[in-house]
Copies of this chain bind each other. A is one copy, B any other.
Amino acid sequence: MNKKTTAHKSNCPINLSLEIIGDKWTLIIIRDIMMVGKRSFRELLKSDERIATNILSNRLSMLEEKGIITKKNDISHKQKKIYSLTKMGADLFPILMEIGVWALDHLPVDKKSTVHLQMLLDGGEKKQKEFLEELKKNHAID
C-alpha cells in the first residue's frame, strides 16, 4: 500500500501505535535489538521464537520506513547490514518494560529469560537511565 494513501483506522494514540507495533513480532524484534544487542538479520533470525525469514524481512522494512530503526552497511562485511534504533525506537523502552512487568505479574514466565528485565526493574530509574545512555552510544539516537 502506498504510504501516502494509507488511511488510519482512527487518530487515537493507542490505535496509531498499534497500527505499527500491534502484532506478535514487531516488539520481539525491538526486544532483540534493544535488550539482547542483536544488530544483523542473521542474529535476529536466531531468536527462541523462531521468526520466519519473510516476516523478519517485512517487519524490518516497516520499522525502517516508520523511522524506528535505520540500516547501514557493516564496514567489515560488504553484504552485511547493521540495524540501529533511532530515538523513536529507543522510546519504545518504557512500553517493553511495562509489558514485561505485566507478564511477570500474571503469566508463566521463564525465570531464565527475565534476568535482564528483573535487573532493570530492581535497579530502578538509575539503572534504566544507565541502560538508555549505553543504548545511545551504540545506536542512531540523536
Contact = CB atoms under 8 A, between A and B. Distances in A.
Interface string A71-104: 0000000000000000010011011111111111
A10 B9 CA distance: 31
Contacts of A23: 18, 22-24
A99 B54 CA distance: 27
A124 to B, nearest CB: 15
Contact of A16 (B17, B22, B25, B103): B103
A31 B14 contact: yes
A99 B17 contact: yes
Contact of A12 (B16, B91, B106, B113): B113
A125 interface: no
Interface residues of A, number: 48
Contacts of A11: 108-110, 113
A99 B27 contact: no
Contacts of A47: 10
Given A9-B48, A91-B106, A106-B91, A100 B24 contact: no
7 contacts: A13-B100, A13-B114, A14-B103, A15-B48, A19-B24, A22-B23, A98-B98
Interface of A: 9-25, 27-28, 31, 47-50, 67, 88, 91-92, 94-110, 113-114, 117
